[in-house]
Amino acid sequence: MKIVAGKYKGKQLFVPKGLDVRPTLERTREALFSILYSMGINFADIDVLDVFAGTGSFGFEALSRGAKTVTFIDIDTKPVLKNAALFEKEKNKIEIIKSDIAHIKYRHKKYNLIFMDAPYGKGLTELAVQSLIKKDLIAENALCLIETRKDENISFPECFELCDQRIYALNKIEFFWYKK
């Protein structure tokens, strides 16, 4: 798995063997970032939060495209730590938090772009969305990309305004603007 575009285009990412981690595929990331650019997202002004980070492929793609900062949250940080070591020149822009989103400690930072890809069918997406709101981690007018299995139907709070939805193979990615 490689970085698709930007400063680190072609950089190979570590992906552990097994089914515990499902990194967002290169073609899907390329499509998502094309959509983000078409929406006018300027990565130089963006603080990115990659929840259920796994390998961190989405966050590292954003970093390659000039994100101001990227924070990764996962209960197993080994894959993302291994990949972060590949971005030594960017270490001051990378933060890795070993936690589940429901138990993350209070933070003063709010994020403009959030990507979430929870394990499918376990109810973790809803829990994570509620935790992000409760812990006040989402900036006003932030864009949230939430990946689920395409047949999963999740109800989102009213403050999440659906603006786009895409299906990629077995996955569905919904784009929400956060309106307090």
- How much is the pTM? 0.94
- Residue 96 resides in a domain: yes
- Residue 2 resides in a domain: no
Cα gap 43→79, rounded to integer Å = 24
Q: What's the mean pLDDT in 146-161? A: 93
pLDDT digits (tens, 9 = 90+) for 97-115: 999 888 887 678 999 999 9
* Beta strands in 25-119, from DSSP E residues, in sequence order: 47-51, 69-74, 94-98, 111-116
Q: What's the mean pLDDT in 132-153? A: 94
Q: Is the pLDDT of residue 127 over 90?
A: yes
Note down the domain range covering 106: 26-178
pLDDT digits (tens, 9 = 90+) for 55-95: 999 999 999 999 999 999 999 999 999 999 999 999 999 99
Confidence of residue 15 (pLDDT cuts 50, 70, 90): confident
86 burial via Cβ count (<10 Å: 0-12, 13-18, 19+): middle
How, if at all, do strands 138-149 and 111-116 pair?
A: parallel
- Residue 83 resides in a domain: yes
Is residue 19 within 8 A of residue 72, CB to CB? The reply is no
Count of structural domains, the chain: 1
